[in-house]
Each structure stands twice: as structure tokens, then as C-alpha cells.
Amino acid sequence: MFVLVAGGGKVGSNVARTLRRIGHEVTIIEQRSDRFTALEEEFEHAAIVGDATEIFVLERAGIARPPDLVVAVTGDDEDNMVICQMARERYGVPKVIARVNDPRNEPHFDLLGISPTISATQMIMALVEHEVPEHELIHLLELRKENLEIVEVQIDKSSPSAGKRIAGLKLPSGSQLISVMREGRAEIPDSETELQPGDQVLAILEPGKEDELRQVLLKK
Amino acid sequence: MKAIVVGCGRVGSAVAKKLTKSGWDVTAIDENEEALARLGEHWSGGFVVGHGMDVNVLRQAGIEEADAVVVATNGDNTNIVVGQVAQKRFGIECTVVRILDPARAELYATLGLRTVSPTSTAIEVLTESVKACSVKPLRAPAAAS
């Protein structure tokens, strides 16, 4: 696979290094000359100096071939959006991955159809949610394109769903329980499965159904 | 008619003032509060301090009622993104975006953005000026001194 990495900071250089180690062809673009000097030593002619939002720089890096994947991981969200957009719209790059530096810019990436995106802040927030007990409903995975998400719910003694069969729960339409973890073992539940205190339940649902689901499973 | 000018530098502020003179109701946006001074003492339009990437700032400036948006911050890529937000998210058909880099200006024009590249204009004008000179070359004064 031929991958073009835009941005040669810690993220970009490590992505490029890893891809090369597992046998892929990589070009990496970095604007800052001090960083570029170090990258050139390691990546030799596969390191390109310049602004990765400039078309001639992208072309020198081989965008016209085009790459199988463009990874835009500069520290600037606007730059990452423009790089991905040009890669796809002008050069027909089949797949792009963008880094989101400021999570408030996430809707802009969505608006321009740039997906998937990776945001360190959001990943940390997801981990924090996982650790904070009052967040009863934990977001595990968002499938944006499919408009679905997977959440984890911890059933306890006071949960209204404890001791009930799944068939007897009025689960909101657009949601489904996909796994019940009990005593370290995960099972795929059916309508006869009875929820018990201590169960960790995974559910798949349409975004916006969280409150209804929380109500049915947890509301005291 | 209401217009929003994002980026109140040398270009943005002048556009804001000219539009106001032509009877537009203009609100300017700039990150820097001091940019308000560029609009002059008698500025009667709106001014919002904030970044054009922030939709709350755009809303505060009244983008939902705007008939036109001019994007002229000092960052080409910021302008490209803000312009598309105005056009696609807020449905402002008359969104005009300044892009200094002629290559990106041309590319985004093909993608449906109204782009203006002052650099292209400068290249054109400078080249034409030089050509105009060579038609009538200046001669050194004939041994007058």
C-alpha cells in the first residue's frame, strides 16, 4: 500500500515509521525545517519539505499516483480538512484519515464529509467517562456513517431491568442489546435472557435513543 | 440586505466599509478586538470578536439572516473551511472567499466555491504592466547634461 502522511510531528512520524516497518510505502510531508532535517535522515527521499496544503508540494509527494490512503495529522484542523478534501476531490484518493485537534471542529469535518477522524481529546474523554461512575451509560464506539453507536450499561440491584427478561423490557425502537457480560463471560442474549445485577450489557442504538434506553434499563 | 465579513484586516475592513456605503447592513468578525479600529470611528455596523471557525460566533453575527458572506482572514485554509460552512451549513449562496494561493483558488472554484485570488490578479496586472512598458520603452534622455 502507498500511504501519504501529511504532518511530521510525533503523530505523523510514528505513523509513517510503523507503516514502513510493516512493509508499506510511505511519503511524509513536513513544513518545519528543523523537523524535516530529522525526518530526512530517517526517511531519506520519502521525506518532503513544504506546506502540505500546497498543491505542488502534494504532487511532489506523489498525490497524483494517487496514494491508497492519505493521513492528515498536522496540528491545524483547517489544514487537515483541506488536505483530505483536495486528496479526495481532485486526486481521487480512495481513503483519508484526519486528525481533529480541537473537538469543536468535528462538525466541520462531518460537513465536508471527511471521515474517519481521530481526536485525542475525545478519546481521553471516552476513557474518563469509563472511569467516572455517574456516567451510567458509556459510549464505546460511534459508527458515524452507519448512524449507530454502541454503549455499555452496568445493571445493578436498583435497576428496574434487573430480574427481568429482555422480552419484557420496553426497549426503545432503534436499539438492541447485543451482549451480556456476566462473571467474566460474554453471551449473546435472546429475548428469554434475564438481566441480573452486576451484568454489563452492550447495546447498539441510533444516536439520540440514549435517554430512552437509560430509562428502561437503569432509571431508579 | 445583510452581509457578514469574516476577517477584518486590510481587505475585510475595506470591503465592510464599501458595502456599508452601498447600503448593506454589515457585521464584521475578527479574532482581534483591535481590528474594530480599522472600521473607523463612525462604524455603525456590527462587530463580533471571535474566530470564524466557531459557529456560535457566526450565529452571533447573524449568519442565519445573512444574504452574503465575505471570508477574508489571513489564512487560506481557514477561509476555505469557513466559506464552506457558510455555504453548506447555513445555505448562504452568495459566499465569497479570498484565497491567496491561485492553485487552491482554482481548485475550490471547480468545487463550487466563489473564490477570489488577489495573487492571480496581481500576477495578471504586473505582467500586463511590464508588457505595456516594453511596447513603449523608456529612453534615456539624449545627452542633455
Angle at A214 (CA atoms; ends A212, A216), nearest 5 degrees: 70
What's the rounded mean pLDDT across residues A118-133? Answer: 77
Dmax (CA) of chain A:
65
- Which pLDDT belongs to residue A218? 87
- Which pLDDT belongs to residue A134? 53
Q: In whole numbers, what is the pLDDT of chain A averaged over residues?
A: 91
Beta strand A47-49 pairing with A25-30:
parallel
A82 touches chain B (CB under 8 A): yes
Residues from chain B contacting residue A82 (CB–CB below 8 Å): 77, 80-81, 104
- Sheet containing A185-187: give its strands across: A137-143, A148-154, A200-205, A175-182, A185-187
B1 touches chain A (CB under 8 A): no
Among A55, A85, A108, beta carbon nearest to B53: A108
pLDDT band at A208 (very low <50, low <70, confident <90, very high): confident
> Mind listing the pLDDT tens digit of every residue in chain B (145 residues)?
999 999 999 999 999 999 999 999 999 999 999 999 999 999 999 999 999 999 999 999 999 999 999 999 999 999 999 999 999 999 999 999 999 999 999 999 999 999 999 999 999 999 999 888 866 656 666 665 5
Cis peptide bond N-terminal to A116, omega within 30: yes
Lowest mean pLDDT among A88-102, A158-172, B76-90: A158-172
B52 touches chain A (CB under 8 A): no
- Which pLDDT belongs to residue B144? 52
Compute chain B's Rg from CA coordinates. 19
* Contact assignment for B81 to A112 by CB distance below 8 Å: yes
Instruction: List all residues 6 or more positions away from A118 whose beta carbon is below 8 Å from its beta carbon.
Output: A97, A98, A99, A100
Residues from chain B contacting residue A90 (CB–CB below 8 Å): 107
Plot region of B62 (φ>0 → left; ψ -120 to 50 → alpha; else → beta): left
CA distance A59 to chain B (A): 12
Residue A141, number of CB atoms within 10 A of its CB: 12
Q: How far apart are CA A38 and CA A44, in angstroms?
A: 10
Higher pLDDT, B87 or A140: B87
Lowest mean pLDDT among A104-108, A159-163, B49-53, B68-72: A159-163
B89 touches chain A (CB under 8 A): yes
Angle at B117 (CA atoms; ends B19, B40), nearest 5 degrees: 30
For chain A, positions 98-117, list CB contacts with chain B under 8 A.
104-105, 107-108, 111-112
- Which pLDDT belongs to residue A144? 78
pTM over 0.90: no
CA distance A79 to chain B (A): 6
B75 touches chain A (CB under 8 A): yes
- Which pLDDT belongs to residue B35? 96
Would the pLDDT of A133 be above 80? no
CA distance A186 to chain B (A): 43
- Which pLDDT belongs to residue A76? 97
Using CB atoms within 10 Å of the CB of residue B51, give its burial: 0 to 12 exposed, 13 to 18 middle, 19+ buried: middle
What are the tens digits of pLDDT across the range A10-69? 999 999 999 999 999 999 999 999 999 999 999 999 999 999 999 999 999 999 999 999
Angle between helix B102-110 and helix B76-84 axes, rounded to 10 deg: 10
Instruction: List all residues 6 or more positions away from A101 whose beta carbon is below 8 Å from its beta carbon.
Output: A75, A76, A77, A80, A119
**How far from B109 is each of A56, A86, A103, B76, B143, CA to CA, in Å?**
18, 12, 28, 14, 54
Residues from chain A contacting residue B111 (CB–CB below 8 Å): 85, 89
Interface ipTM: 0.87
DSSP class of residue B85?
Answer: I
Contact A28, A42 (CB under 8 A): no
Lowest mean pLDDT among A45-49, A98-102, A194-198, B5-9: A194-198
* Residue to substitute from A56, A79, A82, interface B, most B β-carbons within 10 A: A82
Secondary structure in 3-state letters for chain A: CEEEEECCCHHHHHHHHHHHHCCCEEEEEECCHHHHHHHHHHHHHHEEECCCCCHHHHHHCCCCCCCCEEEECCCCHHHHHHHHHHHHHHHCCCEEEEECCCHHHHHHHHHCCCCCEECHHHHHHHHHHHHCCCCCEEEEEEECCCCEEEEEEECCCCCCCCCCEHHHCCCCCCEEEEEEEECCEEECCCCCCECCCCCEEEEEECCCCHHHHHHHHCCC
* Contact assignment for A107 to B88 by CB distance below 8 Å: no
What's the rounded mean pLDDT across residues A162-191? Answer: 91
- Collapsing DSSP to helix, strand or coil, B130 comes out as helix
